[in-house]
Amino acid sequence: MGKKPSVKDKRVSSLRTICEVHREIHDILIVDKNLNSKLANKLISLLEEAYVMGKRMNKKLRQYKENYDDNWWEESRKEIVKEKLKRRTK
């Protein structure tokens, strides 16, 4: 018996972004009239949330790439701690 292929075994295109995949799924959900509308709305809401998360992640990764130097993590960590403390004191 062979091993079942997993998601990890599947190759993905390096030419597409996660946001493009989110858009395609969103378009399929909008076009597919057979899908339960309540379920479709819930999935669309989750896709929109994932899209925003992807945009933020992309922005942060680009920031890390630009600001990379020997002590970038220490400076970034200080900023993160300050932001978390601000949120807690609100």
- pLDDT by position in tens, the chain (length 90): 566 656 666 776 778 888 888 888 888 888 876 778 888 888 888 988 998 898 888 888 887 777 666 676 777 788 888 888 888 886
Residue 50 sits at the vertex; the CA angle it makes with 47 and 54, to the nearest 5 degrees, is 135
Report which of 29, 74, 26 is spatially closest to residue 51, judged by C-alpha positions: 26
pLDDT at 38: 86
Amino acid code (one letter) for 80: I
- Spans of all domains in the chain: 14-89
- How many angstroms separate the CA atoms of 2 and 22, rounded? 32
